[in-house]
Amino acid sequence: MSAIVKIPTSLRGLTGGSSEVEVPAGPLDEVITSLTDTYPDLGERLLDDAGNLRRFVNVFVADDDIRFLDGLETAVSSGQVVTILPAVAGG
Amino acid sequence: MSLSYQDLVNEAKLKIPEVDPSQLLDLAGTVTILDVRESDEFDQGAIETARLVPRGLLEGAIGMHVDDLDEKIILYCAGGARSALAAQTLKRMGYTNVSSLRGGFGRWKTDGHPWKLPEALSNDQRGRYSRHILLPEVGEEGQIRLLESKVLIVGAGGLGSPAALYLAAAGVGTIGIVDFDVVDTTNLQRQILHNIDRIGQSKVESARETLAALNPDVEIVTYDERLSSENVLQIFSDYDIVVDGGDNFPTRYLVNDAALHLRIPVVHGSIFRFEGQVTVFEPYQGPCYRCQYAEPPPPELAPNCSEAGVFGVLPGIIGSLQAMETLKILLGIGESLTGRLLTYDGMSQEFRTLRVRRDPTCPACSDENHPPELVEYDQFCTPAGVVARAG
């Protein structure tokens, strides 16, 4: 009963180099809590002091933007993929 | 028994239906009209909606123009003889609804029906673009459209290099390039427009030399300056599409906001180390850059290529995808990435297509009549407000 979180290159330094992390399925905020319990430095990169997702990071559940689903309450089912996508500007 | 040419034509005319010019006029728009004359005849004038398929190529090329054996097809030539023979051949190939225009294009013109002087490719161009012309999705008409198109590329760097090379090779008639930088050694690992002879030279001039050597059909317009709120509207206003290959957040927000002012689509690409993102921002039809990323990350969280490194082939892939999207939009074919964000991870060799949407509260694009005011963006790239749309 777990979901897969895809970690972008820019944040892999905070996950010991892991590109994918398996976490228990559930509401997205719990998925993120599981993630940041394991990798505490990731928390401040994803969430602001009020616990909201930062404006330069997008999160997708099953390839859909959670801002247009139920935000941090979006349900993440077993086997679903959570994609974290920060803005990058390189060219 | 031998048959003369006239015998063959008379025999064909007995076996296939002929239509009069006035009948064809009534059918225009509902039938496929094929001009079976030679290209030099077509270039002198043709029926407006006709497609050129010279008699000598007809049997081989018909499948590219007509999918359905029962589709209504009308063929014409100069006087109605070659098209009668061609129609007979198509009938033998199984096309059930083929007619020939009685009296051909000559009678069509004499009867006073409308015709066009087609924009035509030169013989050299027919050779250069022959692999495009063979594609029914492009054809000669599409190639002419590309030659008449104008694309602006922001940045002659990692993304701009492959994008510019493919757009020039494809025959995009005008390519503008904005970059204020000069070529240095560290660029050459990925910026394939440039070479060791160009070190120290301005990137746009180096780009011009490379692209001119590739395709003399293309007019290269260079802007050896930094894109700013002062010059952006003037530069963008001459173009159909902007390819964003910038390398910093302020430029990307500036590109976005200016494109909203002018309603020009932006083909966006961005890269970091081994990963890239590609999408199309179609003003007011899909999300804009600010819908997607309302704010840039603080600088300490967003190192650029010179700080974080970038795998050299990555911009080759992402910039080529930008060229693909640009050409599709210019030709009006396929499905653009509007509303979809394509991500690429070179390490896992994985593409994902994520759904992205227009944010109804977006400070930049939620009100079509009030695009964002253009300012010198600080590191936070915050919009200064909105202004009323001019005109």
B148 Cα to chain A: minimum distance (Å): 27
The answer to whether the beta carbons of residues B242 and B265 sit under 8 Å apart is: yes
Q: Name the residue range of residue A28's domain.
A: 2-86
pLDDT at B123 over 60: yes
Look at residue B390 and give its three-state secondary structure. Answer: coil
pLDDT at B53 over 60: yes
Least confident among B50-64, B148-162, B317-331: B50-64
* Residue A26 domain flag: yes
* Residue A91 domain flag: no
pLDDT at B391 over 60: no
Residue of A nearest to B316 (CA): A91
At residue B44, what is the residue type? Answer: Q
How far apart (Å, rounded) are the C-alpha atoms in residues A36 and A30?
10
* Residue A61 domain flag: yes
Tell me if A91 and B271 make a contact (CB, 8 A cut-off). Answer: yes
Cα distance from N-terminal residue to C-terminal residue, chain A: 39
**Integer angstrom CA distances of residue B287 from A41, B114, B140, B340, B366:** 31, 42, 33, 9, 10
| C-beta neighbour count of B62 within 10 angstroms | 18
What is the biggest distance separating any 2 CA atoms in chain B, rounded to whole angstroms? 90
Does the pTM of the predicted model rise above 0.95? Answer: no
Confidence bin at B384 (pLDDT 50/70/90): low
| Tally of domains in chain A | 1
Tell me if B275 and A9 make a contact (CB, 8 A cut-off). Answer: yes
Least confident among B53-62, B83-92, B127-136, B372-381: B372-381
* Residue A28 domain flag: yes
How far apart (Å, rounded) are the C-alpha atoms in residues B280 and B356?
11
* Residue A68 domain flag: yes
Least confident among B9-23, B230-244, B371-385: B371-385
Residue A48 CB burial class (10 angstroms; 0-12, 13-18, ≥19): exposed
What CATH number is attached to the domain comprising A77? 3.10.20.30
pLDDT at B24 over 90: yes
pLDDT at B358 over 90: yes
* Residue A79 domain flag: yes
pLDDT at B121 over 60: yes
Residue of A nearest to B243 (CA): A91
Q: Within the 290-329 window of chain B, which residues sit less than 8 Å (CB to CB) from chain A?
A: 292-297, 301-302, 304-305, 308, 310, 315
* Residue A78 domain flag: yes
How far apart (Å, rounded) are the C-alpha atoms in residues B46 and B40?
11
A10 Cα to chain B: minimum distance (Å): 8
